[in-house]
Structures are given as structure tokens and as C-alpha cells.
Amino acid sequence: DAMVIQNPRYQVTQFGKPVTLSCSQTLNHNVMYWYQQKSSQAPKLLFHYYDKDFNNEADTPDNFQSRRPNTSFCFLDIRSPGLGDAAMYLCATSEVDSGQETQYFGPGTRLLVL
């Protein structure tokens, strides 16, 4: 089945220690998104790639970076995680210019910062 895959499902890191979260998709969609979601809050868009073009949200901290080496994979790098970065990180994809452009989400990576 076509899907969005995120690894790992749970990630524990130490305060200030860089961490990378990964996302892959078999949908061949042209846009990949990274969201941060804290408990009982709306998913907050951090950035997205339209093909190879990176689009950062204005309020995304510099501590968060992303890479998309090819259509299938996208990575979220947190350079120096703080306690406030503990959250669920959701990857999503969509095929822009397809009409409805529904976003499809991966299962998420829950990040814990010690």
C-alpha cells in the first residue's frame, strides 16, 4: 500500500544533542511537510518542500532544519533540542495541482528531550 512512513516512532535525545527524524513516502507526491504537534494543540507547520524548493514558515526557529535528497525522503534536523521541542513530529505529503490536494500523514515521531 502507498503510504507515508516515519522513523523512528519514538525518539529520546538529550538536551542540546542533535537529532534527525526521517520520513519517506511511496505516494510519489511533489510536496512534503513537517509539522510539530504538542498535546491538545493544532499541528503547526514548520516547513515544506515543493519538489526541491524549500519553504520555511516565518516563525520556525533556526534550530530546525530540513533536507529532501530525493522525491521519496525528507529529514527533519533539530540542531540543539531544548525541553520545549518535545512534541509529536508529523510528516505529510500532497500532490499539488491535483485538484483536491489532500494531505496524507505519517504515523509521527514522538520526541522526548531529557
Looking at 11-19, 60-68, 77-85, 89-97, which segment touches another protein (CB under 8 A)? 89-97
Quote the CA–CA distance of 110 and 107 in Å, as a whole number.
Answer: 10
Element (H or E) spanning 84, and its range?
none
Applying CB under 8 A, among 76, 90, 111, 113 the residue interacting with another protein is 90
Name the residue among 112, 89, 90, 92 with its Cα closest to residue 102. 92
**Max Cα–Cα distance, the chain, nearest Å:** 43
Q: Which of residues 46, 81, 94, 111 is near another protein by CB under 8 A?
A: 94
| Residue at 76: amino acid letter | L
* Measured CA distances, 35 to 1, 49, 71 (Å): 23, 12, 18
110 lines the binding site for another protein (CB under 8 A): yes
Residue 96 touching another protein (CB under 8 A)? yes
48 binds another protein (CB under 8 A): yes
Which amino acid does the sequence have at 56? Answer: N
Binding to another protein in span 9-38, by CB under 8 A:
31, 33
Interacting residues toward another protein by CB under 8 A: 4, 31, 33, 40-43, 45, 48, 88, 90, 94, 96, 100-108, 110
